[in-house]
Structure 1
Amino acid sequence: MAHDDEFLPRLGRQRSRGKAGRAKSALGAILAAATLARGGASFSSRKSGFACSRIGRGSGVGQVLASRDRFAAFRARRVIVKARIVKLAGTGLAAAKAHLRYVERDGTSRDGERGTLYGAEADKADRDSFLERAEGDRHQFRFIVSPEDGGEYE
């Protein structure tokens, strides 16, 4: 019991923790994120010819689609997808109703008519049944899909 008080810490400067504790460089972090986004192998060697021009989420898919047969090109359509997660805390149902009113407002169609709701099963969805299904939800996932050639639609 007499030896319980004999702890003497050795104070000194912090030492290297090895490779695990080392911070990544900015380029290393960018390359790692690009690798994860495209689902490819790591860029461990500098001889790969990587020019940082192909960085981006989904760029691997774009390269695969671009390398497909040349006859598939006329069927290709590029779109921009904007995704948003909305928390429905507190005034959740009221916020969902307000969003549906915004979607269905006047002047949203090309002819200036009211917007319509649609679903996976039908071209016209029922607003009230959608709100009933979404009553207990904590979040809403809202997507805007904008085709590149949207102005050419009739």
Structure 2
Amino acid sequence: MTVTRKLLCVAYASIALLALIGTWSHNVAYLPLGFAGANLRFWGDTFANPASRSITVDLFFLSFAVLVWMVLEARRLHMRGVWLYLLFGLLIAISVTVPLFLIHRERVLAVRAPGTPAGRLATGDLIGLALLVLATLAYTATTLVRAPA
């Protein structure tokens, strides 16, 4: 791996660490509610006002676009386990898992032979993307219904 790629990986790791600290320093407030209660309360709190609904929908669609790219890039580079980045993006924070995916990508690019043909999407990747689309659309529809007239 070149020095440039190594430095890029260090930058990505730093971003992931700062994102983890930044998100989970707030998320820990929900942990005493248990898994189900924490999730219900957290997502309910995203409906607090028009600004929170707007930023949440914005982040959902940005995340969706990035996750589609991640799956396609993983397919192109024959990267395994892309669905884990999708899952942990939902459970931990997308701002943590995208930089980790980028580190994985840099490591694959460092050893990949030029001209290697693209791979195919696995069934799990397709199912994960479909579920993500449904969740994003459901949340967006819910915010539109709850939005003031």
TM-score (norm 1): 0.22
**Which structure is larger by alpha-carbon Rg, 1 or 2?**
1
User: Which of the pair is proportionally richer in strand?
Assistant: 1
Q: Which has the higher contact order (CA 8 A, sep 6+)?
A: 2
